[in-house]
Amino acid sequence: MSPPPWQIGDRLIHRVNTDLGPGRVTAVKGRTLSVVFPFAGTSLSLIADPEVLAPLALSPGQRVVVEDDGSRGRLEKECDDGRWQLEDGRTLPAASLWPVAVGISPLERLAAGDIDNVEDFANRLDALLLRRIREARGLGSFLGGRIRLFPHQLYAAEQATRADPVRWLLADEVGLGKTVEACLVLNRLLHTGRAQRVLVVAPATLTVQWLGELWRKYHQVFVLLDDDRLQDVAREHGSDFNPFDVYRRVVVSLENLVANPRLTEQAVAVGIDLLVVDEAHHLRRPRGHPGNPAWRAVAPIAQQNNHVLLLTATPLEEDAHGFLRLIQLLHPASFPGEFDAAERLASGLPLPPCTTSTRRVDIGGFPPRRHLPVTVNDPAGWAALDALVESQRRLPVGAGGLRRKADHVRRALSSPAALAAVLTDLDQDLRAACLQAGRDDPRAQWLATKAREWKEAGEKTLVFVADRETLIALKQTLETVGRIRVGVFHEDLAPGRRDIEVAQFRMGSGLSLMISTECGGEGRNFEFCRRLVLFDLPWNPVMVEQRIGRLDRIGRDRDVEIVTFRPPGGLAAAISRLYEELGLYAEPMGGLDRELTRVEEGIREAALAPEETVDAARFLPLVREVRAARARVRDAAYHELHREPYSAEMAGSILARVPARLDELTEEVVAGGCRRLGFDTEQERGERVWALEFGSRALVDHLPGVVPGTRFLGTFDRACAVTREELDYFASGHPLVEGLLAELEDGVRGTVALLEMDGAGFAGFGLLALYQGEGDDEEAGFRALAVDAQGRPRPEWAQRLISPPLRTRRVRPEAWTRRRGWRELVEKMAAALPEHTVPTACAAFRFTRRDKEPAA
């Protein structure tokens, strides 16, 4: 049955925004009402929605103000003619009486019969429960990121944030998630107000990855402070203006910081709260030396009394002096002045409590890498490719110097198309040779055949190439010869398009193969792929490791297939053999940056030596050097010097603190709150994926942190969010989640209710009061108290009432609040509650004994 139409002069209350007080209808046009709210001093145009607007109801015992003369009184009873008798004997028309102070206190509202919708109360109760459990006994601020939860990362972040200020060295083995750990610490410091200005310093090749990690996984917006941005600041604010005053959360490349000493001065002047330095092993200060340019650029910022996180891939065993220098930067008192690293380690003294250095062996459970080298029997095809490489090696050094020549050789090794892209108009014969060699490339022909087989087997394959030209040519071959559709991922795609490509690739029914340039190795998760194909081999072994790392990730539950090609001869064959001898495909090469840099230099020297025939023997000294360094790291002779290291035995107790229902309860609160506020909501069938829009039909015109008109497509499921990065992750820190919780905390929606429910053995009438921000460690977030009709405490009733789900029958408010003595009963029960403390919400309830649970 639809509610009666509104008429001019009718009085009402706004169920959502009760701070307005009661209002009077002054105009009606269709379903639009003009309403004046005298206590709020405002007039609004509102849609006549019965979920939002309700007739103003008066009740005995209510304090009122008389509109005609401003006098006050208390209602005694309603007369037969609809007028009301006051306790002072006056009898007045209902239309002249306005409730006083409705909405100031939930208990006063309950006594006055001003009752909210029970769904709003249930939403508020769920939100209070969410605030309680998401604290997770100290892990709370770590749980909002779009990450799989690994106990060693949670342990490292918790260890680091115990100190104030946080000054910590993250030195986990490569691939264990140092960046994740740093972001966990960063998130906590920001959310707890311990940091406002944040500066992330990273090598230029990693700055975009940091921006992506912070945004996609932690809802954090940072700005890349590069030359263009600095010019913008100077143009808009003046050349002397401090850019760190314009942008409070920034990423700066280490190279830019070194090249612009003024940036360091400006960072020191403004006062950076948190400094994060990635690849901190690039900061070097030999004995008796003021430090290399990187050290001198970063040290003045780190030496302030601020929070500092240093991330290094070089373990203590590989560079003891450099490692201890970083600790000295964090805690100068531990290493005053100069020191002898060998003597310090020989003493056996533990390191200061400011490091974590977890190894793969400390975690266990990593699936093996399986190298699958491919030999293609096509002498003519390989000879054509090698001829292109040798043509570039034999060229004299001309304009552009050695760098240009080295790039041409590298491109020739990658693909004929990559080389053709940099040839001049004078190289027509060579261009024709590239075209023919590209058609007959044995790698592409083999891959076209196998790609079809892999597709039919339902397996996903990621192919890495160095250059976009190689990507385009290979895509054409696979689609024409292999007759399959191919996805692409490269630096020229817009960020949104990259997300779409990866999403389509990830779908079970989607593309079976994707070709990516190196930008696919920057933070993206392709763990769902069965295999990795290295179509070409970068000269930098670290880049090969980055490629492999897209699949070889913590938590992977199957072997990592790595497909490479074995050319029969030439420079390409020597490089292929070198990487196999190094063991590059067998296990990570973390902590060996110095040795791997020399490998890259050795390949470059060979490529630029035209008179030599390069074979694998040329690289034997490099192989021996890398193997010796790896042995030192593997021995981990000084690992026991790290205090309180992580061990696999800790995993169970750490993960036990993560609430099992966290994602589920967040979904109930947020999706339920959006429905109650009139947002457009739609759930994908069979998925925990929601489209939530702050649309034109919303019942509120403001939500903290969310702009009207914003549409979110996201999930409440952590595992889904990790694999589908194109979706928002609705978790702690997401603006919609925090906005809805703030709306409940700051507003009055759902603060007063009437409940009638099965007591599960209890029977009686009582009052439930909810107090926010109180309780011990086990009840952080809120406290629930219940008293019965006689004012006696009933803690067991309170526990029953707040235990989800809240199953209550609908109660017509007037059936309870219009009864004689209602106000007195509420006031009697309220008197038994703690004095001088006002509950944030309350409900009158009746427990009944029934054989069956009532319907929701």
Q: What is the pLDDT of residues 178-230, one digit of tens each?
A: 999 999 999 999 988 899 999 999 998 788 889 988 988 888 999 999 999 99
- List of residues 6+ apart from 382 with CB closer than 8 A: 376, 442, 567, 568, 569
Residue 105 shares a structural domain with residue 181 = no
Q: Quick one: pLDDT at residue 679?
A: 95
Percent above pLDDT 90 for the chain: 53
**Higher pLDDT residue, 455 or 321?**
455
CATH number, domain with residue 313: 3.40.50.10810
Specify the 3-state DSSP secondary structure of 168: strand
pLDDT at 302 over 60: yes
Claim: this prediction has a pTM higher than 0.85: no
Q: Is residue 364 part of a domain?
A: no
The pLDDT tens digits for 259-291 are 999 999 999 999 999 999 999 988 998 888 888
Return d(Cα 55, Cα 180) in angstroms, integer: 53
In terms of domains, do 478 and 496 share one?
A: yes
Question: Which whole number is the average pLDDT over 231-241?
Answer: 92
Query: Position of tokens 């034999």?
Result: 394
Mean pLDDT of 85-98: 89
Arithmetic mean of pLDDT, 297-315? 91
Quote the tokens at residue 201: 């310093």
Please write the tens of the pLDDT for every residue from 719-728: 999 888 889 9
Closest CA to 683 of 648, 723, 727, 636: 727
Domain-embedded: residue 1: no
Q: What is the mean pLDDT of residues 670-687?
A: 90
Name the range with the highest mean pLDDT among 460-474, 541-555, 679-693, 771-785. 460-474
Q: Tell me if 355 is assigned to some domain.
A: yes
Q: Is the distance from CB of 691 to CB of 682 less than 8 angstroms? A: yes
pLDDT tens digits, 634-675: 766 566 778 888 888 999 999 998 888 899 999 999 999 999
Domains in the chain, number: 5
The number of residues in the chain equals 856
Regarding whether 102 and 151 lie in a shared domain, the answer is no
Whether residues 205 and 352 fall in one domain: yes
In a domain, 25, yes or no: yes
pLDDT tens string 104-116: 689 988 998 989 9
Average pLDDT, whole number, for the chain?
88
Q: Confidence band (pLDDT; 50, 70, 90) for 506?
A: confident
Are residues 77 and 176 located together in one domain of the fold? no
In 3D, which of 801, 762, 804, 760 has the Cα closest to residue 784? 801
Does 652 fall in a domain? Answer: no
Same domain, 31 and 164: no
- Judgement on whether residues 668 and 775 belong to the same structural domain of the protein: no
Predicted pLDDT of residue 521: 58
* In a shared domain, residues 23 and 110: yes
- Say what the pLDDT of residue 520 is: 65
My answer on whether 833 and 687 are in the same domain is no
Half-sphere exposure in the Cβ direction for 183 (13 Å, CA):
25
> Of 698, 720, 746, at which residue does a domain stop?
746
Q: Does residue 296 sit within a domain? A: yes
Same domain, 385 and 333: no
- The CATH number of the domain holding residue 621 is 3.40.50.300
Q: End of a domain among 746, 781, 801?
A: 746
Domain boundary among 635, 668, 693: 635
Q: Which residue has the higher pLDDT, 759 or 844?
A: 844
Question: Does residue 339 sit in the same domain as residue 421?
Answer: no
pLDDT at 399: 63
Evaluate if residue 553 carries a pLDDT over 90.
Answer: no
Output the pLDDT for position 570.
93
pLDDT score for 2: 56
* Best CA proximity match to 803, nearest among 339, 255, 129, 173: 129
Average pLDDT over residues 761-779: 75
- What's the mean pLDDT in 691-705? 90
For a pLDDT cut of 70, what percent of the chain falls above it?
95
CATH of the domain at 741: 3.30.360.80
pLDDT per position as a tens digit, 571-589: 999 999 999 999 999 988 7
Q: Are 13 and 54 in contact (CB under 8 A)?
A: yes
pLDDT given at position 638 = 65
More confident residue, 687 or 164: 164
Whether 853 is in a domain gets the answer no
Which stretches of 537-621 are assigned E, i.e. beta strand? Answer: 560-565
Query: Residue 250: CB partners within 8 Å, gap ≥ 6?
Result: 198, 199, 200, 222, 223, 224, 225, 243, 244
Domain containing 491: what range? 369-635
Query: Does residue 580 lie within any of the structural domains?
Result: yes
Q: What is the mean pLDDT of residues 447-467?
A: 95
Residues 411 and 512 in one domain: yes
Task: Classify strands 513-516 and 487-489 as parallel, antiparallel or unpaired.
Answer: parallel
Which contiguous run of DSSP H or E holds residue 185?
A: helix 178-191
